Amino acid sequence: MCYRIALNFEDGITRFVDCKEGEKVLDAAYRNKINLPMDCSDGVCGTCKCKAESGTYDMGDDYIEDALTEDEAEQGLVLTCQMVATSDCVLSVPMTSQACKTGQQSFAATVTRIAPHHDAAVVLELAIADPATAPVFLPGQYVNIDVPGSGAHRSYSFSTAPGEAQIGFLIKKIPDGLMSGWLADAKAGDQLTLTGPMGSFYLREGEGPLLFLAGGTGLAPFLSMLEVLARAGSQRQVHLIYGVTRDLDLVLVDEIAAYADRLPNFTFSTVVADAASDHPRKGWVTQHMPEDMLAAGAVDVYLCGPPPMVDAVRHYLDENDVNAASFHYEKFTPNEPQKAVA
């Protein structure tokens, strides 16, 4: 039996290693040519200390307290030279990937479908050229996609579940945007290069209620999270608020609604900011927050949207003394349009 260990480095890069049953995580990383910090490898120096974000493991008792105190262990700190995984785990590594002599992974993909949604967004679906290299990522993470012929890339969150040979993205349409311009002429069969995964915005394990707050194409990572929760048969209470500027910006609502049949405790609402809209819920996401979920203090809040939305939600939570069990957010800024070449 093998367990999959996600190593999240300080520079946002994530690498995955398969850890054999009974194998130390440090040894598994070295076997995969990832040099996690290490000095003694005997549980004495504490150099290999990392933070276990999720998963179960056995630390044994062959280390000294100077290397890992009882308080540190209670906080989820581990010594990778002693840690033996008993499930899939996520570790936060307090070093950059470069310092650990590893880096980003790239893989090739082929365009299979491009589906525009008015002038708001485009659904881009890709097939991985080699299914054996289907990207492994944490639901909520993103990749960089090279824009052919430009020498530049754009960053997009996966909207599909990890480990699939068919992957998807929800991309905002930007007038004269670099990726938007390429997508306008792209067709099935075109080739793309992707690099990643990256990012610290991803779904954590837990049993408590979840509040998802999506702004515009910030919906993408939540679709990935919902798919993972549905496949796991999750019983967690999940409420998604999807806020947009205009009616036309509401996309993939049918796909969201379909999760109500697969997740017994899932609900969602949509909000349109445009005062001229006939939508039943107008205004900002903060005006439609479920007070009962927030008041309990046990909710995990996940937020992905443009900077003004993220800042507004953070201010709302602070101003109303909301003490969430955890709060994770990611800002995205639309890329600037292409500059005209004289």
- Give the DSSP H or E segment for 29: helix 25-31
- 205-215: average pLDDT: 95
- 160-179: average pLDDT: 94
**What is the predicted pLDDT for the residue at 295?**
86
Backbone φ and ψ of 72, nearest 5°? -65, -40
Query: Which residue in the block uniquely carries the two structure tokens 């003004």?
Result: 308
**What is the predicted pLDDT for the residue at 339?**
42
**Joined tokens for residue 29:** 């990383």
CB atoms inside a 10 Å sphere around CB 233: 9
- 151-156: average pLDDT: 96
Strand bridging mode 57-58 / 84-85: antiparallel
Q: Which carries the bigger pLDDT value, residue 272 or residue 200?
A: 272
How far is the C-alpha of 77 from the C-alpha of 330, rounded, in Å? 24
How far is the C-alpha of 209 from the C-alpha of 94, rounded, in Å? 29
- Write down the mean pLDDT value for the chain: 93
**What is the predicted pLDDT for the residue at 296?**
81
How far is the C-alpha of 296 from the C-alpha of 252, rounded, in Å? 30
pLDDT band at 342 (very low <50, low <70, confident <90, very high): very low
Residue pLDDT, tens place only, 225-265: 999 999 999 999 999 999 999 999 999 999 999 999 999 99
pLDDT at 135 over 90: no
**Joined tokens for residue 213:** 């707050």
- 132-145: average pLDDT: 90
Full set of structural domains in the chain with CATH: 2-92 (3.10.20.30), 106-198 (2.40.30.10), 210-331 (3.40.50.80)
Q: Write the single-letter amino acid at 224.
A: S
How far is the C-alpha of 174 from the C-alpha of 6, rounded, in Å? 33
**What is the predicted pLDDT for the residue at 104?**
83
pTM across the whole model: 0.89
pLDDT band at 105 (very low <50, low <70, confident <90, very high): confident
Question: Percent of the chain having pLDDT more than 70?
Answer: 97
**What is the predicted pLDDT for the residue at 334?**
62
Residue pLDDT, tens place only, 2-43: 999 999 999 999 999 999 999 999 999 999 999 999 988 899
**What is the predicted pLDDT for the residue at 133?**
73
- Cα distances (Å, whole numbers) of residue 194 to 6, 103, 168, 212, 297: 19, 14, 12, 27, 39
